[in-house]
Amino acid sequence: MARSSGIIVAALTAAALGGVGFLAFQAEAAPDRPRPSASSPSGKEKGQDGQDKAGQDQAAKEKEAATALPANSGTGARVVYALAQKRVWLVGADGKVTRTFEVAPSTVNPPVGPYKVTSRDPTGLGSDNTRIEHIVRFHRDANGVVFGFSAAVDGSLPDPASTKKTGGIREKPADGLALWNVAVNGAKVVVVP
């Protein structure tokens, strides 16, 4: 009896190893990424990351819409600042956007409307005592709050919890340089909601 049970165990072990070997062979022979086809469950073409191409296209359209130049922002060369989007667009004389970027808004918003750059300074000290550069000012309100764009030399952003009333709109250093290069004295700045 012991002899026949050993044969049975050996046969079962051999069959199991053969089955595992066969499955490993099948897995190795399978393609890494199945090709999209009309017979796939969704019938949708997939992109490199496995996301539906339609989903990728939709995401790209949504991003483009979110960063599109706001309507009614003027014409010609200008700097457009959208308060709600916390975003700036640099627009060339041909009306085409040359650059867009997010900014950290000031604690006080400038009123919506058109302005002109009134003064510029290459460097200075921000109202938060941070060294700033590429300072471009465009408005001073009745309370004496000065509104303008600048970048912290160290790349830091202002404290959003600050209660001090300031008009400094903070950019990243590279964005600040780009704005500095186009926003000369008298250049148009348009603030939109």
Residues 5-28 have pLDDT tens digits of 667 666 566 555 555 555 555 555
What architecture (CATH level 2) is domain 76-192? Beta Barrel (2.40)
User: Which residues lie across from 80 on neighbouring strands?
Assistant: 89, 190
pLDDT score recorded for residue 9:
62
Cα-atom radius of gyration of the chain, to the nearest Å? 31
Q: Return the structure tokens found at 144.
A: 């004496």
pLDDT score recorded for residue 51:
59
DSSP per residue, 119-176: EEEEEEE-TTS-EEEEEEEEEE-TT--EEEEEEETT-----TT--S--EEEEE-HHHH
DSSP state of 94: T
- Tens-binned pLDDT, residue by residue, of the chain (193 aa): 556 666 766 656 655 555 555 555 555 555 554 444 444 445 555 555 555 666 566 665 666 667 899 999 999 999 999 999 999 999 999 999 999 999 999 999 999 999 999 999 999 999 888 999 999 999 999 999 999 999 999 998 888 778 888 999 999 999 999 999 999 999 999 999 9
Pair 132, 124: CB distance under 8 Å: yes
CA separation for the pair 193, 175 (Å, rounded): 21
- Cβ contacts of residue 19 below 8 Å, gap of 6+? none
- What order do you get walking across the sheet with 113-116 strand by strand? 97-102, 87-91, 78-82, 188-192, 113-116
Domain boundaries, the chain: 2-61, 76-192
